[in-house]
Structure formats: C-alpha cells, structure tokens
Chains A and B, each alone.
Chain A
Amino acid sequence: MGAKLGSSGGPMADINVTPLIDVVLVLLVVFMVITPMLSSGQNVDLPMADEVTKVNDVGQFIVISVTEDRGWWVEQEQVDEDSLIPTLNLEFNHNPKRSILVKADRDLAYGDVRVVMDLLADNNWTSVLIAAGKRK
C-alpha cells in the first residue's frame, strides 16, 4: 500500500492494516456482548405502565426477580421460600441503604407475585418498588 511518488526517495512506513482490523472487530464484539448484561436481576417481561419514574440503576436496589416460570431470584442467586429472607438479609447487611425492587413477569398470576411480597411484608419489608416498562 505504499505509493511511490516520483521525487521522494527513502523508506516510507506502511500502516499494517491487518492488526488494525483485528482490534476493531474485537472491540465491536466486546460491545455487542456486554450490552445485554448491563441490566440487573433476571430477564423478565416487565408489566407496562404509563406513570413511571425512571431511576438510574446504579446498584441502589436489591433486585428480587420473579421469572415467568415462577422462580425467585435475589440479584443473580436463585432462592426459594426458605432461602429468600436469609439471602435478602445478607444482601441488606452489605449495604443497608438499599431498597427492594421487585421485577416480576407481567404474565404471572397476581398470587405468584403476592406470595413473595407477603413474605417480605412478614419480615418487615413493607415498602417495595415495582419495576415496570414505560408504555409507548
């Protein structure tokens, strides 16, 4: 790719393009992989609502997810009826300022989500936040 002009003599440096492309493509792939991992909790179909306030998800919530198959998760850890509260307490002790966010799939029966909330309320977590998507 070095063009030899008429008058210039001397060595000319050619940009070695192959590694350039390699690096660029790697960056591209890295971005494409990282993006889905940025949301917290599990992947659920959030219920849609109009009156929502947006909050930047910078780790100030303990996210409890109730997935479509009725599984319960505290952050990335799967829990069940017995381990929900102990796991929650552990997370809470790390940083007591966090509030609880419930991410539940919109197709779940109310009872399935309520059971989690009942458990929380019985243990004095009576004020929770519910995650929703903004209806367009």
Chain B
Amino acid sequence: MGAKLGTNETIADLNLTPLIDIVLVVLIIMMVNIPIQIEQMGVKLPGKVEVNTPPPDTDVKQLVIAVYPEKSGDFALALNRTLMSEHTLRMEVTTRLRNMEKKRVFVDADESVPFGRVVDMLDLARAAGADAVGLAKMKDGGPAPYTAASVGSTPRGIIVGNVKVVFYEGSTVATLSAKTADATIRAHMTELMGCYQLGLAQSSTLTGQVVARVDVGPDGQLMGHSISSDTLGNDAVTTCIDEQVLPTLAFEPLGDQNTAAVQFPLVFSPG
C-alpha cells in the first residue's frame, strides 16, 4: 500500500493484517459482553410491597419490624415493639412466621433511616419466609417506641418445674430419675417454645401451667402421653405439646417389666 512517489524516499507501510485481527477480537469481546451486561441490568425486585397498610394492632397476630435511628449513628431494630439484635430478630421472625398461616410482615421506620436499611429489613422479612411484606403508614414521630426485652435469648420463657418420676411396676431404675427426665424435656425446649409461640401469636400475654405426662415402658418406649392439667387455656398450645413434642421424647430402657410415669410441670410466662 505504499505508493511510490517520484522522489527516492522510503515510506513505511502500515502492516494492516495484525491491526484487523486486533480490532475484530475486540469487537467479538464486546459482542460477548453486552448480553451479559444486559442480563445484569434486568430489574431486580424484592417482590411486591404494599404501601400504607393501616397501622397494625399489637394484639392481633402481626409482625411489625421497626427501625429506629440511634444517636450513635447506628440503628435499633424492634419486633412488635420489643428491642432485639438483628440476629435475634431474624430468628424470631422465622420462628413466628412458620406458625402463622397468613405470613405477613410490616416494616416501619423513622423517616431519617436510610432507604437501604429499610430494604434490608424487607429483605430479612422475605428471607424469613414472609409472603406479603408491607410498609406501615409513616407516623409523624416515627414508629411506636420500643421496650427493651429482658436479658436472655428469647423474651418469653418456659420454666420446667419439679419433674416427677413414679415407677408403677418394678423397681426404680437409675437411668430414669427426675434429673434425667428433666434433661430429656429440656432437650426439646425449642419445640416447646415453638408450641408456646403458637399461643402467643394469638394472645401475647398467655400465661399458665401445663402438666404433661408420659408413660414409659420396659424398652424405654412411650406407652402413652397426655396432658394432666392445664391452666393455660389455649388448645393450640396443649395440642401441639401433646402431639408434637411428647411423642418425640426418648428414654433409656427400664428393663424387666418396669414401667414408670413421668410428669413434667411446665410454666409458661411471657417474660
């Protein structure tokens, strides 16, 4: 491509082949990248959000996550006006949603909270299993004030009373005593809490005592389970304990035709 002019000069020819090669490679790279970029730009949504849902009552089973700005610049989180850490909040919401049929969560925040933080809460609610997420109507002074939860892992408690073991037939066996039975029921504390949450979802001040009874046979198998007494007054909770927790209790074999009855008094209090 070098044209020779009249004078005797050397003219450098641009070597075009590698130039075209490079340009075509760059073009191909762009053509491959663009669909990927278009993919990433697709709109991503944390689902439909209901705006301005009416302020929920605290008695009806609803979950309200509220975000408050703290003076330190950090943010306080509360579930149904009970202050808790994000980790506890996540666990509480997941547990409660599991027991609710209409899985709705409301998120409320003070107007100075950054929007990203509110979306985090919406995200948390969805990750915990909420089907419908709503933004509660904003009030002038911010969300309703919170109260600090009592120190401990969960704000509501079950106290295991004096466990009684009575041997009906045969002699007492060392492997089944009040202490071991106590340990057995404590191993199922999470399930018991789950049952209690069922009742708490309906009435947040549910208090009472439930005495559960289990009959153990010679092989350690359960021969029967029942609720001996109940001052809780909530059928959902007692049925849950009777049908879902008691049958899962495991005992050591008693041997030799021994049978025993074990009584667990459980005191439920909303903390």
Complex interface: chain B residues within 8 A of A21 (CB): 16, 19-20, 23
Smallest Cβ-Cβ distance to B23: which chain A residue: A24
A61 CA to B42 CA in the complex, in Å? 12
Q: Complex formed: what's the CA distance from A110 to B127 in Å?
A: 21
B48 interface residue per 8 A CB criterion:
yes
Q: Are A126 and B115 in contact (CB under 8 A)?
A: no
Instruction: Name B4-35 residues within 8 Å CB distance of A.
Output: 16, 19-20, 23-24, 26-27, 30-31, 34
Q: How far is the CA of A56 from the CA of B135 in the complex (A)?
A: 25
* Those of A39-56 within 8 Å (CB) of chain B: 39-40, 46-56
Whether A106 and B47, one on each chain, are in contact in the complex, defined by CB atoms closer than 8 angstroms, is no
Give the segment of A5-13, A73-81, A89-97, A111-119 that binds chain B. Answer: A111-119
Taking a contact as CB atoms closer than 8 A, the residue among B42, B111, B119, B122 that contacts A56 in the complex is: B42
Q: Mark the stretch among B49-57, B94-102, B193-201 that contacts chain A.
A: B49-57
Total residues of chain A contacting the partner, CB 8 A:
54
- B110 neighbours in A (Cβ, 8 Å): 110
* Count of residues in B whose CB is under 8 Å from the partner chain: 44
> How many whole Å from A110's CB to the nearest CB in chain B?
5
Q: Is the CB of A51 within 8 A of B51?
A: no
| A47 & B115 in contact (Cβ 8 Å cutoff) | yes
Q: How many A-B residue pairs have CB under 8 A?
A: 148
User: Inside 8 A of B37's CB, which chain A residues have their CB?
Assistant: 35, 38
Closest residue of B by beta carbon distance from A32:
B30
A128→B47 contact, CB < 8 A: no
19 contacts between A and B (CB under 8 A): A21-B16, A28-B23, A28-B26, A31-B34, A35-B38, A49-B120, A49-B122, A49-B123, A53-B46, A57-B43, A106-B119, A108-B115, A110-B109, A110-B111, A110-B112, A111-B112, A111-B138, A125-B51, A130-B119
Q: Which residues of A contact B (CB under 8 A)?
A: 1, 17, 20-21, 24-25, 27-28, 31-32, 35, 38-40, 46-57, 61, 101, 104-114, 117-118, 120-122, 125-134
